[in-house]
Structure 1
Amino acid sequence: MRVLVLSQYFWPEGFRINELVTALHAKGVEVEVLSGQPNYPGGVVFKGYRAWRCVRDTCLGVTVHRVPLAPRGKGAVRLALNYLSFILSALVFGTYLLRKRPFDAILVFAPSPILQAIPAIWLGRLKQCPTLLWVQDLWPESLSATGHVTHPVLLKGVARVVRWIYQKVDLLLVQSRAFTPKVRALAGSTPIVYYPNSFIDERAEGTVEPIVCPGLDCDFPIVFAGNIGRAQAVEVVLEAATLLRDVEGVRFVMVGDGSQRDWLMQQSANRGLSNLIFPGRYPVEAMPALMQKAAALLVTLADTEIFRLTIPSKIQAYLAAGRPIIACLNGAGAEIVEEAGAGVAVPAEDALALAEAVKTLYKMPESERFEMGAQGRRYYQEHFAHDKLVDTLIGHFEHAVRSQQGCR
């Protein structure tokens, strides 16, 4: 089977689509990728690439077709230009680069912007193959939740575009079951199936390497891994760290980058907090080893309707790590942590509840914390094991191909 993966983000940018492509390739699927020039998250094009070039190279064992784009930057205008330039380039230059290459199916990896599905729909018509859209964020809800777009007229316009996209693809994969009603309201007759994010269990693969990370040399390091942005409501961590500043041995280690990192660092310095550490970004490949050094793993989200429906992809990684999870969020993500018995869930944006949860875990016997982590790993293996989910995706490809062939 020949599959085209369309994703604005791809290696060397650190997204889970990299692991999925690698796994599909290992299972004998002939995968090619249509992507942009790597520049996430800082808006600086990675060494060896140029923003305004078309290039075909090989990454992770597969052929990658890269089209020009405007690098992302600070502010809504720069981000909008980044999104729109990729869509236009994928339509024009992507069509040219792929002109003689047949495919059986197209998969769109769709974190924001979901608009990147537009060139995939066009290519699916040209190649006469089904298009599968893997919905990671709900639009237009995520735009309003993050503050990028708030005007009601603009949000209605985005909703119309999303409706058109949903109804033009052949299969919608949703990363959270809670997404289904919202997607169904716009999708018309397009089939929808639950297909969660996964995480490669590096310990099972025997690839975990030693790692050095500032802040972990204490009795109870709490690791937050990933984007440090508005969606994560990271001010709750600042307030909890302030409440816990006199608790010896407890540190919050904020691994990653994002729009709120500089602000959070400045606020931490203003308050003289020594229990809030910012070691920076680490490669995705290093995260399993880093998480192994944590006493607990922290996930936070803002208190909005959209985020109550979302399962942050880091939850699967945290479950696989086998460490207790502190979930400061509402809805689907908290339900998984509680159902798995993998940690403690507290209301989103509630700093006092977060601080109390930290103290509860800190005082808990190590054997009980160990059992929490073990339950999380068992839940991961049952529900999110990477190899099983890749097989499921291949099954979705095959079914979509058969369905389209049956309609001809």
Structure 2
Amino acid sequence: MKHARLVPEDVEIAGGGLGKGLRVLVVSQHYWPENFRINEVVDSLRSEGCDVEVLSGQPNYPHGKIFKGYSAFGLGTELHPSGYMIHRVPLVLRGRGGGFRRIWNYLSFVMFGVAVGPYLTRGKPCDVVFVYAISPILQGLVGAVFRQIKGAAHVIWVQDLWPESLEETGFVRNRLALAAVERLTSFIYRRADLLLVQSRGFIGKIKAVAGDNIPIAYHPNPGDLPPVRGDIEEIPPLSLPAGFNIVFAGNLGAAQALETVLDAASHVQDPDIRVVFVGSGIRSEWLRQQIEKRRLTNVVLAGRFPSAVMPSIFAQASALLVTLNRSKALSLTIPSKIPTYLGAGRPILACLDGEAAELIQDSNAGLAVPAEDSIGLAEAMVRLKNMPEEARECMGKAGRHYYDAHLAPARLARELISHFRYAVDRRTRLR
């Protein structure tokens, strides 16, 4: 069995309602008004004619506080402003991100999703149950239950490797516990009709856990959809100062090698070069303290901004920065911000290994140095700043060209629908 794209990359897929008549239930613990890639994927699927509903939890990410208008133990269905149904199940809130609370946060979605999700979606037939599997993979258990109840094809879009991510982040070190997680992961994978992976590097690892009988296909994360007219203020909420501004956007977490960025900034002597963090996460406060402790005047914490205004911030950036820790699992990952960076048409600075570094180099979209190489990152910052402006513009244009050819949301939505139809056909044959 060939484990690759079920839809060849060189085949142009016609648009115009490819998903018409296809009923999709998306299972994702996190969803609008939280800011996750799956939000835009749903919009793209609906633009192609799919009938989509979503099963999610109560919004509380990233700060662990319930969003206004919601209740942690609320239960019910709401209408998204675009006109589709979102079914909400109760959750134990993340709180400030402590390990015990996070575990219960994950488990609560699975328990309530299995216990009351079928009630919320009663009388709603579907053809595909689509699980957006950011960590943890446990969400796949909810999809497996719906597969049985609805008789639908079960498709899991794997965004992270388990149990590798647990081991390499140090969250779980006990060998028996890791073995148990691997068995559970295998159990979940084997109850899917199709596994989609966000990076080709995942394929071998997942095949070893899932076995040879479950088809695996590469399906990358798309970039952001263009903002809806009227969603962006004419004056951007963040105006970058004069100089060479290197923007890091997104999650400020444990995997993002933030120490490396600060170390690199401390080595840069050019006063025009500045690193601007736009986002938030569990290490936001640590980052603020470190900037003060190190007296780094060339590092700015700008805070978190709505996704609709990010294009205006990217447009002001001299370069866009992406970093990850050095680890085997992370070297197989392509951060979801990279497609968005490519679409922004700005040169990219990457400090990471493996698949993502190769993507930046192959697309000619910027400079890549090894993960956790703070000296190399500092030198790359200076090198990029000292390049002729024409050379940097060529990098940005090359990145945008790669995005249009491979990562544009509409094209990937059509590919995703083709994956869905493959899974439906396969399930029908196996019955």
TM-score of the aligned structures, taking structure 2 as reference length: 0.92
> CA, structure 1 residues 125+83, in 2 after alignment: closer, same or farther (shift >3 Å)?
same
Separation in 2, partners of 1:209, 1:334: 34
Check if 1:136 corresponds to 2:159: yes
Contact kept? 1:297, 1:324, Cα under 8 Å: yes
2:91 aligned residue: 69
Q: What residue in structure 2 maps to residue 294 of structure 1?
A: 317
1:234 counterpart residue number: 258
1:74-132: CA deviations, max 9, x gaps? 21001001000010000001021112211111100010111011011011111111100
Query: 2:291 aligned to 242, 252, 268, which one?
Result: 268
Matches within 5 A, 1:272-287: 272-287=295-310
1:127 match: 150
Quick check: 2:190–2:210 contact (8 Å CA) kept in 1? yes
Conserved? CA contact 2:271–2:298, under 8 Å: no
* Number of aligned residues: 407
Match among 399, 404, 409 for residue 381 of structure 1: 404
**Secondary structure in 2 aligned to 1:94?**
helix
Q: Does 1:190 align with 2:217?
A: no
1:156-171 → structure 2 map (5 Å cutoff): 156-171=179-194
Contact 2:154 2:193 in 1 (8 A): yes
**1:264 shift after superposition:** 1.3
How far the C-alpha of 1:55 sits from its partner, in A, is: 1.6
Cα offset, 1:161, TM superposition:
0.3
Aligned-residue Cα RMSD (Å) equals 1.5
Which consecutive residues of structure 1, in runs of 5 or more, have no partner in the other structure?
none
Matches within 5 A, 1:5-404: 5-59=26-80, 60-73=82-95, 74-188=97-211, 189-202=213-226, 210=234, 212=236, 216-244=240-268, 246-404=269-427
Q: Which has the higher helix share?
A: 1
Provide the C-alpha distance between the structure 1 equivalents of 2:306 and 2:289, rounded to a whole number of angstroms.
Answer: 24
> What is the CA–CA distance in structure 1 between the aligned matches of 2:297 and 2:283, rounded to whole Å?
19
Shift of 1:214: 5.1
CA distance in 2, matches of 1:325, 1:11: 28
Q: Supply the distance in 1 between the matched residues of 2:237 and 2:333 (Cα, whole angstroms).
A: 29
Q: Aligned AA for 2:321?
A: L
8 Å CA contact 1:301–1:307 kept in 2: the answer is yes
Paired with 1:211 and 1:393, the residues of 2 have a C-alpha distance of 36
% identical equivalent positions: 48
Give the letter for the 1:23 counterpart: S
Indicate if the aligned counterparts of 1:320 and 1:376 stay in contact, CA closer than 8 A: yes
Q: Is the 8 A contact 2:58 2:89 kept in 1?
A: yes
Please report how far the alpha carbon of residue 360 of structure 1 lies from its aligned counterpart in structure 2 after TM superposition.
Answer: 0.2
Amino acid at match of 1:362: K
Contact 1:310/1:332 (<8 A) preserved: yes
User: How far apart are 1:61 and its partner, in Å?
Assistant: 2.4
Q: Which runs of 5+ in 2 are unaligned?
A: 1-21
Change (3 A) 1:28 1:110: same
Check conservation: 1:22, 1:61, Cα contact below 8 A. no
On the 8 A contact 1:319/1:379 being kept in 2, the answer is yes
Q: Distance in 2 between matches of 1:6 and 1:204?
A: 25
State how far apart, in whole Å, the 1-side matches of 2:105 and 2:231 are.
Answer: 35
Task: String of CA shifts for 1:50-77, please: whole Å, max 9, x gaps.
Answer: 0001020011421000000101022100
Distance, in Å, in 2 between the alignment partners of 1:383 and 1:85 is 36
Amino acid at match of 2:262: L
Distance in 1 separating the partners of 2:60 and 2:227: 29
Matching residue of 2:13: none
Q: Distance in 2 between matches of 1:153 and 1:400?
A: 34
Structure-1 separation of matches of 2:123 and 2:171:
38
Moved more, 367-376 or 198-207: 198-207
Q: Deviations over 1:148-200 (max 9, x none)?
A: 22221111110000011111110000000000000000112100000000013
Amino acid at match of 2:425: R
Contact 1:211–1:290 (CA<8 Å) still a contact in 2? no
Output the amino acid matched with 1:12.
Answer: P
Instruction: Indicate if the aligned counterparts of 1:325 and 1:337 stay in contact, CA closer than 8 A.
Output: yes
What residue identity is the alignment partner of 1:377?
Answer: R
Provide the rounded CA distance (Å) in 2 between the counterparts of 1:373 and 1:340.
10
- The alpha-carbon distance between structure 1 residues 206 and 215, as it changes in their structure 2 partners (threshold 3 A), is closer
Paired with 1:220 and 1:300, the residues of 2 have a C-alpha distance of 18
1:287 deviates by 1.5
Partners of 1:381 and 1:183 in 2: CA distance? 28
Runs of 4+ aligned residues of structure 1 deviating over 4 Å after TM superposition are 203-211
TM normalised by structure 1 equals 0.97
Q: Distance in 2 between matches of 1:286 and 1:55?
A: 30
